[in-house]
Amino acid sequence: MSASDWPSSPLDAAQRAFTLLVQPPTHVGFDGRGFDGLPDEILPLNDLRDLLLLSATSVEVRDAVWRELVVRARRDGPAWVVAAVGVAMPGLRRVAGMLAAGWRGDTDDLDSELITGFVARLKTIDLDEPRICGRLIDAGLRAARKARDTDSDAQLIHAEATGPIAPIHPWDHPDLVLARAVAAGVIDAEEANLIAATRLEGATVAQVADKLGIATSTASAWRLRAERRLAEAIAVGDLAFVPLRPRRRRRGGATQQRVAATQQRMASAQQRVGPAGVAQQRVAVGSLLGRTAAADVVLATQQQAFVGKTSDREAAGVGAPGIGARPA
């Protein structure tokens, strides 16, 4: 094969290398004997990949197979590194698509960092923890995001004439941040409405609580917990790739169930810490980020996340679709 026939895309090149590796006759095959749920034979690696993608294959079997793949990649050299990347290719391509959404730069650079981060993690990943493949892909995603953020910081806006210009797309409005948080399950629709009314529209907590038919203290407790979850999700970039889709409304009794649960938790908290401790919990959402600020400032920070200003979530994990959200 000539150099001109070799794919220029890093992911396509990795897939081509994997395809050539598994072509018979090949010395690289996976021994399925001893793995529950796998055929008792030497499996071609492309067949192994197909088996791992089946819903009938248990999580335990996937982890056992990936544990063996990582051991072989560490022990037996580059061929098994190519094998590991090839078996993980469906997950890597899905993450690459997420990274490319809204990106104006060269996606080949992001794909290269994605593979580099994945391969580097093969050397250090803890094989005693679950989700081995998911954590490897998470590491690649973190590396690609870090490279994207660095490139975003270095980009300059050039204009032929002076004057105001629109921000680099995509930007976002606080209402859309709340909508994305609802779509991601970080907060629910009632909590989003409560935050929007009291933080963005100037209504008091008492006014909103009266409309909901709940106590002011209950509404305040709802908002406090919701804002904490929202601030954390923004800080780690969990809302950066959330599409806005309609969600089913809560059933009619859901509000009253949440009221009862909140009142019970508040009563328990008062017994543990007393009135002074409960009062200290009612702080502005800006203090959740280590300073005093209005909630619309916290929401505005999400605008940066949509242009790649997400943190390097080395400790927090990433939770790409189809991959769990536990830390790598």
Tokens of 195: 């935050």
Name the E strands within 175-229.
none
Q: How far apart are the first and last CA of the chain?
A: 38
Respond yes or no on whether the N-terminal peptide bond of residue 170 is cis (omega within 30° of 0). Answer: yes
What crossing angle do the helices spanning 174-183 and 216-236 adopt, rounded to 10°? 90
Flag whether pLDDT at 256 surpasses 70.
no
Tokens of 179: 């909508």
* H or E element at residue 30: strand 30-31
Chain-centroid distance, C-alpha 51: 25
Neighbours of 240 (CB within 10 A): 24
> Can you spell out the DSSP letters for 58-114?
-HHHHHHHHHHHHHHHHHH-HHHHHHHHHHTHHHHHHHHHHHHTT--S-HHHHHHHH
Tokens of 18: 């994997």
Q: How confident is the model at residue 290 (pLDDT cuts 50, 70, 90)?
A: very low
Whether residue 110 contacts residue 97, with contact meaning beta carbons closer than 8 Å, is answered with no
**Residue 37: its pLDDT value, please?**
85
> Can you spell out the DSSP letters for 240-251?
TT------PPPP
**Residue 18: its pLDDT value, please?**
96
Burial of 245 (0-12, 13-18, 19+ CB in 10 A): exposed
**Residue 253: its pLDDT value, please?**
53
Question: Could you report the per-residue pLDDT of 11-69, keeping only the tens digit for each?
Answer: 999 999 999 999 988 889 999 998 988 999 999 999 999 999 999 999 999 999 999 99
Flag whether pLDDT at 147 surpasses 60.
yes
Question: Could you report the per-residue pLDDT of 60-109, keeping only the tens digit for each?
Answer: 999 999 999 999 999 999 999 999 999 999 999 999 988 888 777 788 99
Question: Could you report the per-residue pLDDT of 194-252, keeping only the tens digit for each?
Answer: 999 999 888 899 998 888 888 999 999 999 999 999 988 887 777 766 666 554 554 54
Question: Could you report the per-residue pLDDT of 151-181, keeping only the tens digit for each?
Answer: 665 554 545 555 555 544 445 578 888 888 8
Minimal CA–CA distance to 52: which of 72, 70, 32? 32
Query: Residues of 96-119 as b/e, b for ≥16 C-beta within 10 angstroms?
Result: bebbeeebeeebeebbbbbbbbbb
CA 196 – CA 189 distance, rounded (Å): 10
In the three-class reduction of DSSP (H, G, I as helix; E, B as strand; rest coil), residue 43 is classed as strand
- Kindly state the greatest CA–CA separation across the chain: 76
